[in-house]
């Protein structure tokens, strides 16, 4: 699947949500996360992110490799809801993301 990495933190542009045909991009406290099982690898979200936060998981830059697991761990409690719209924002981020300093410019 595709994943969302650190440039999304405190930015949350959400242009990606508009492009996803399966509504698998979920909103956490500080960033958004792609559901690893619901994503169908269409790739439509990747070019529209204005801060280039979205990567195919194997192409994730090394400094953000922890975000591959973050996009999995975010769903530990949520499971597979089958659509982000009905879930809405979840006030959760994996701990290393929650503890980042403020990132907004």
Kindly list the residues in this chain that would bind ligand F3S in the complex (CB under 6 A).
Answer: 2, 4, 8, 11-16, 19-20, 22, 24-25, 32, 34, 39-45, 49, 51, 53-54
CB of 40 to ligand F3S, least distance (A): 4
CB of 15 to ligand F3S, least distance (A): 4
How many other C-beta atoms lie within 10 A of the C-beta of residue 23?
16
Which run of H or of E encompasses 17? helix 15-19
CB of 1 to ligand F3S, least distance (A): 6
95: which 2 tokens?
């701990």
Which run of H or of E encompasses 99? none
In the bound state with ligand F3S, the residue whose beta carbon lies nearer, of 24 and 70, is: 24
Task: Find where tokens 């659509």 sit.
Answer: 83
């Amino acid at each position: 699947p595709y994943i969302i990495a650190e440039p999304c933190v405190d930015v949350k542009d959400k242009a990606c949500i508009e492009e996803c045909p399966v509504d698998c991009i979920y909103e956490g406290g500080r960033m958004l996360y792609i559901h690893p099982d619901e994503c169908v690898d269409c790739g439509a979200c990747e070019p529209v992110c204005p801060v280039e936060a979205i990567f195919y998981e194997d192409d994730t830059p090394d400094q953000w490799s922890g975000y591959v697991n973050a996009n999995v761990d975010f769903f530990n409690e949520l499971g597979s809801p089958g659509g982000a719209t009905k879930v809405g924002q979840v006030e959760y981020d994996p701990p290393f993301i929650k503890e980042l300093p403020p990132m907004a410019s």
